[in-house]
A = this chain, B = another copy of it.
Amino acid sequence: MPGRARPAWFTGAVESSALFTIPLWLELTAVAVGGIQGAMFAARLTERQIDLLGIGLIGVLVALGGGLLRDLLINQLPAMVQNNWYLPTATGAALFGMLLFRIFNRLNGLIIVLDALTIGAFGAIGTTKALAWGVPVVPAVFVGVASAVGGSILRDIALNLPIALMHVGSLYAVAAAVGTILIVVLVAFGVPMLIAGIACVVVTTLIRLGSVRWGWSLPEQRAISGWRVWRRA
């Protein structure tokens, strides 16, 4: 379509070297939330004899797996191997979560809120990192969603369970997707990265919490069943 300008978000020419970043202490807090969550999830599997190493590995996968998927998808050195703090934080938080399971279990509401903030932040970080490395907008959103929810996917694969987020349940990846689409649109319209990132976190968190509170979910897979009737008409 020569002569007709396409919008930047369509051509994927959203150029942005700006990254949405959060301070290391905040990132490590998010990592710790992931580690604690991983341990709490594993604690339900009492019939299996998961040992301390297994808990540590689940913590690493939940907390750092999304970032690992992100960096594999954009062919960059994974952030988790660039810094001495990520791995001990994730494993330490997981062991802490295991020991204090009864306390954290009572704080479940708080953990759901912290987790919702975390997937919002990881989605924003992932999408803007992908854009900064020249990834077009559609896969940049995919990379952001993978950053946000990849940890839960790797957790389920490691525990030999069906991947929870592929099944009917509260919205998780959808919340991250809406937030990351928003950030791409805002950046394409020239909104400063900090504001776009915060908007992404807020929207993701609201959708996630609304979904938990009011039971929003995606419909189950379903084929159109009326063909016979329709063809008769």
Measured between beta carbons, the chain B residues less than 8 angstroms from A83 are 136, 139
- A51 near B217 with CB under 8 A, answer yes
Question: Is A99 in contact with chain B by the CB < 8 A criterion?
Answer: yes
Instruction: Please state if B218 and A53 are interface contacts (CB–CB under 8 Å).
Output: yes
Interface residues in A113-146 (C-beta closer than 8 Å to B): 130, 135-140, 142-143
The answer on a CB contact under 8 Å between B82 and A135 is yes
Contact of B221 with A51 in the complex, beta carbons under 8 Å: yes
Q: Are A142 and B81 in contact, with the CB atoms below 8 A? A: yes
Q: Are B167 and A163 in contact (CB under 8 A)?
A: no
Q: Which residue of B lies closest to A160 (CB)?
A: B162
Knowing A77-B74, A221-B55, A224-B100 are in contact, say whether A167-B84 is a contact too (CB < 8 A).
no
Smallest beta-carbon distance A228→chain B, Å = 9
User: How far is the CB of A217 from the nearest CB of chain B, in Å?
Assistant: 7
Contact B219 A139 (CB under 8 A): no
Give the interface segment out of A16-24, A41-49, A193-201.
A41-49
Instruction: Please give, as numbers and ranges, the residues of chain B lying within 8 Å of A86 by CB-CB distance.
Output: 139
Are the CB atoms of A73 and B82 closer together than 8 Å?
Answer: no
- A-B contact sample (5 more), CB < 8 A, given A51-B217, A52-B219: A48-B162, A52-B221, A53-B165, A58-B166, A84-B136
Q: CB within 8 Å of B: which residues of A?
A: 10-12, 39, 42-43, 48-55, 57-58, 68, 71-78, 80-88, 98-103, 130, 135-140, 142-143, 153, 156-163, 165-169, 173-174, 217-225, 227
